[in-house]
Structures are given as structure tokens and as C-alpha cells.
Structure 1
Amino acid sequence: MADLNGDVVQAGAFADSLAKTGAEGVRMLNQHDGRAPVGVWDEVREDERGLFVRGRIEDWSPEARFAAALSRAGAMDGLSIGYRTARARRQGRLRVLSGVELWEVSLVTFPMLPGARFSVA
């Protein structure tokens, strides 16, 4: 499925990156702000739908508590990835990503891929 920017992540695109870093190498940020991680990802893997993440929003900073409150209230439920493209090709108007170095998965208000959502347990 293409995101709003015309990018499509091909199945297996995260495999090399995750094999190198595991979940420990992927940061949980709020709105892609690298200055203040808001939690940790306990599990990051590819499944039949795409990238699956499971983690914990912590209470160690005002930003983290704010992200947790927004998430609990349902005001923020989107996910967005921060990455470097390792391999890609053009397919018409789309850019198909076949290799991605995954740096972070952010909690966001408006995800570039509208179906990229999370829920709070």
C-alpha cells in the first residue's frame, strides 16, 4: 500500500536492518523529535501486514507523559517511521523501498500511511 508521499515498503525491506539492530536499535519518538524519546519498543518485526511494533510509553519526561495522555485519550494514534533508504526503485509514480535502515518509529498525530495505527492497552 502506498503512503501519501507515494512510497511503498516492499515485504522484507526491514529484514537486514532488524537483523543488525533488533528492537533495541529502533527508537520510540514523539512526532519524530529525536531530542526526547518517549518510550521503548520491546518488539519490532515484519509480519504479513508490514512492520509490527509493541512497546511502552514511559513517564520519564514531560514529553513522554504528554504523549501517553494523548494516546490514552485517543487524540494521537498514528505511527510513522524514520529511516534511510538503502535500496529503492521507481514504479510509475511510486517509489518502491526494498531495503530500509530503520532508525525510529514515532507516535504521530497524522501518519503518512493512514492505516499505520497503534492502540493503548
Structure 2
Amino acid sequence: MKAASLAVEAAAADGSFEGYASLFWREDMGRDRVMPGAFRTALQRRGAAGVKLLWQHRAEEPIGAWQSLEEDSRGLFVRGRLALEVGRAREALALMRAGALDGLSIGFRTVKAERLTGGGRALREVDLLEISLVTFPMLPEARVSAVKAARAGEAALADGMRRAARRLRAAAAGARWQTR
């Protein structure tokens, strides 16, 4: 298996994050370049649910699930969520927030590739098996484009609490008015 990477700069409170797990045309430290369309067949066959979210490529340590995986003109865009009921996922989230863990690496089996002049390979089709949170990614250029904000859920909760507080104040004011 070869690896390409995605640095994770932050993660939402619910453990969700998004970004590019692979960038097309970029040479990784193993001298491989993933070509546009390389993931298409695997994504059609497996879908996000069929690609595992692992810790450091360890098959015995799944730490979450991918919500979506899609190829766009730039590369492989991913959205995932850590399973915070799992101890290693909580550790991963803490490390991501601290900036100590900032990479993702794709684990795949090469289906079609060609040798490039000067060395390395152009990966035309890969069978994507897993994407891992890792300490040292193979493709340092791939970065998180945005963090899916759990803040939206937190904001909705805060709004609900403010509405409830207004209702309680109104009820209390009405109760005082009625008792006076």
C-alpha cells in the first residue's frame, strides 16, 4: 500500500472534519502522482461506508467513519467524523486540536499505473481501502479546506436555551403580575 496525505488543522467539537485526502498531479514522497479519476471506480463500488477511517493505518483501530468521499477537479475531498465513544478517537481529536496530529494518509491497492519519465508512477486507478489519521503524511501539500463546525449544532442549542430562558422569564413575570 502507498500513502498520500492530508493535514488536519482542526476539528469540530463533535469530531467532524473535512478536506483533501489526495491532490491530483502532486508528487508524494514515494514519487507517486494520483491522476484525476483514479478513485472513481472504488468510490462507486465502495462508497464512503466501504472506506475505513483508521488510526495510523492500523486495521484493528477504526476511529470513526467517512460521511462522504468525492473526487472533484482538485483531488479527493473527504468529510469524516471521529467516533468519540472510542478512546483513540478522543485522543485523536485532542491531538488535532493541539496541532500535534495533522495528517491523513490514503491506503490503497494499485489497479492501473504507468511509470513516469525520471521515476515515480502516475496512478490511474486505485482501490481505496482506508484513509488514516497519521503523524507523518506522504503528501504534505494536501490540507484541510474547512472544518465542519459543530458550532452550528451548538448555536442551535444556545438559541433554544435563550428561547427557553425568555419563556421562563415571561412566565415568571406573568406569575408575579398575577400574584400582585
Residue 36 of structure 1 aligns to a residue whose secondary structure is strand
Contact preservation (8 Å) 1:79, 1:117: no
Letter in 2 for 1:107: L
Give the alignment partner of residue 126 of structure 2, picking from 83, 100, 106: 100
Counterpart for residue 93 of structure 2: 68
Greater CA deviation, 7-16 or 62-71?
Answer: 62-71
Whether 1:49 aligns to 2:77 is: no
Q: Name the CA distance, whole Å, in 2 between partners of 1:117 and 1:39.
A: 19
The higher radius of gyration belongs to 2
Whether 1:33 aligns to 2:79 is: no
Q: Name the CA distance, whole Å, in 2 between partners of 1:105 and 1:88.
A: 20
Residue 68 of structure 1 aligns to a residue whose secondary structure is helix
Letter in 2 for 1:8: R
How big is the shift at 1:39?
A: 0.7
How big is the shift at 1:60?
A: 2.5
Give the RMSD, CA atoms, in angstroms. 1.2
Provide the TM-score with structure 1 as the length reference: 0.94
Identity of aligned residues (%): 53
How big is the shift at 1:70?
A: 0.6
Residue 71 of structure 1 aligns to a residue whose secondary structure is helix
Point out where structure 2 has 5 or more consecutive residues left out of the alignment.
Answer: 1-25, 150-180
Residue 122 of structure 2 aligns to a residue whose secondary structure is strand
How big is the shift at 1:117?
A: 2.9
Contact preservation (8 Å) 1:80, 1:116: no
Point out where structure 1 has 5 or more consecutive residues left out of the alignment.
Answer: none
Say which structure is richer in helix: 2
Counterpart for residue 58 of structure 1: 83
How big is the shift at 1:116?
A: 2.4
Letter in 1 for 2:53: M
How big is the shift at 1:109?
A: 1.4
Counterpart for residue 111 of structure 2: 86
Letter in 1 for 2:33: V
Residue 62 of structure 2 aligns to a residue whose secondary structure is coil
How big is the shift at 1:6?
A: 0.2
How big is the shift at 1:113?
A: 0.4
Say which structure is richer in strand: 1
